[in-house]
Amino acid sequence: MSARSLVIVRGGGDLGTGVAVRLHRSGYRVVVLETESPTVVRRAAAFAEAVFSGKTEVEGIEARRIELHELEGVPGVGRDEATNAPDGATGSWMPVVVDPGGRTIGIMDPDAVVDARMAKVNLGTRRGDAPVTIGLGPGFKAGDDVDLVIETKRGNSLGLVIETGAAAADTGVPGEIAGVTSERVMRSPIAGTFESVRSIGDLVSEGDVVGHVAGRPVRAGVAGLVRGLVADGVALSAGAKAGDVDPRGAAVDPAAVSDKARSIGGAVLEALLGRGVAPTDPANGKGTADVRADVEVPDDRP
């Protein structure tokens, strides 16, 4: 059986999950890295949810939490060709590793690293972490700190693969849905931990309380369907995103990968193929990490 190329995705939020789903279905081995307490909102469509629940499923792909110590020093971990999991596991599932520092990258020697943390700044991903490094959205500079950048701003350039320069700057304004932008986002009124009183998938009216932070209510700004909420017990700063209401209401599936995430996932696939990182090399049964002689790699990597 042909070896499959390994891609590490840093960040299992909705966009990182869209990338992981596209790559998994295209034949890559994928490992997702997360923090101990992700502030992800769209948890029903995010592999990061496995950090809280142990396992989760997005569009038929199961993800399971794996601790970093389960990877260290294990030859070939995650490379079992019968699965997408550490050797000896059964079934096909997506490993989610609690590893905000990225130590897994050095342990697993991936073919590519995708930084999907959407922090608006580079939190440490660098060219040289893997033969191909990709940053999603603002905070990265293609040809400098990463090899390629993917545009994440909605519009004509959404999903553009940028080979030189940066993505569009963050505007701070959420994308428009049914004519609504900022009002659909629920934010923490104060610093503290979040506790919900409503659930993802609930229908709410404008002004309804969906949760509390340090005893202060978090209210829906518009009527619609609760598409996302941070997990109970997650610490939020004042003004941080606590949830999202979709004004389209009951027609929305909160567990579906969004159109934006699908577009970005396709762009990452394009970027990998363009740099010679194919899922497999059927000619000799090796992953593309072993057959990159024809791919031009800059000599100025750190």
Weakest mean pLDDT among 162-166, 168-172, 186-190:
168-172
DSSP letter for 180, please: B
Q: Is the pLDDT of residue 1 over 60?
A: no
**How does residue 298 score in pLDDT terms, banded at 50, 70 and 90?**
very low
Secondary structure (3-state) at 75: coil
Q: Is the pLDDT of residue 243 over 90?
A: yes
Q: Is the pLDDT of residue 95 over 60?
A: yes
Q: For residues 44 and 129, what is the distance between their CA atoms, to the nearest angstrom?
A: 30
What are the residue boundaries of the structural domains of the chain, listed by start?
Answer: 6-169+259-290, 182-247
Tokens 């003004």 map to which residue?
Answer: 239
Average pLDDT over residues 205-230: 97
pLDDT at residue number 281: 56
Average pLDDT over residues 40-61: 97
Q: For residues 98 and 12, what is the distance between their CA atoms, to the nearest angstrom?
A: 10
pLDDT at residue number 297: 38
Q: Is the pLDDT of residue 229 over 60?
A: yes
Q: What is the pTM of this model?
A: 0.87
Average pLDDT over residues 57-75: 80
Average pLDDT over residues 260-271: 98
DSSP letter for 118, please: -
Secondary structure (3-state) at 217: strand
Q: Is the pLDDT of residue 86 over 90?
A: no
**Number of CB atoms found within 10 A of residue 69's CB:** 8
Structure confidence by residue, pLDDT tens digits, 183-192: 999 999 999 9
Q: Please, what CATH class does the domain formed by 6-169+259-290 belong to?
A: alpha beta
Q: Is the pLDDT of residue 248 over 70?
A: yes
Which tokens hold the place of 126?
A: 């660098």
Q: Is the pLDDT of residue 110 over 50?
A: yes
Q: What average pLDDT is seen over the chain?
A: 87
* Cβ atoms of residues 153 and 123 within 8 Å: no
Distances (CA, A) of 166 to 14, 75, 266, 295: 21, 37, 19, 23
**How does residue 72 score in pLDDT terms, banded at 50, 70 and 90?**
low
Tokens 């038929």 map to which residue?
Answer: 60
Please name the residues in contact with 84: beta carbons below 8 A apart, sequence gap of 6 or more.
24, 29, 30, 78, 92, 93, 94, 95
pLDDT at residue number 295: 37
Average pLDDT over residues 121-139: 96
pLDDT at residue number 20: 97
Structure confidence by residue, pLDDT tens digits, 251-265: 999 999 999 999 999
Q: What number does CATH give the domain 182-247? A: 2.40.50.100
**How does residue 96 score in pLDDT terms, banded at 50, 70 and 90?**
very high
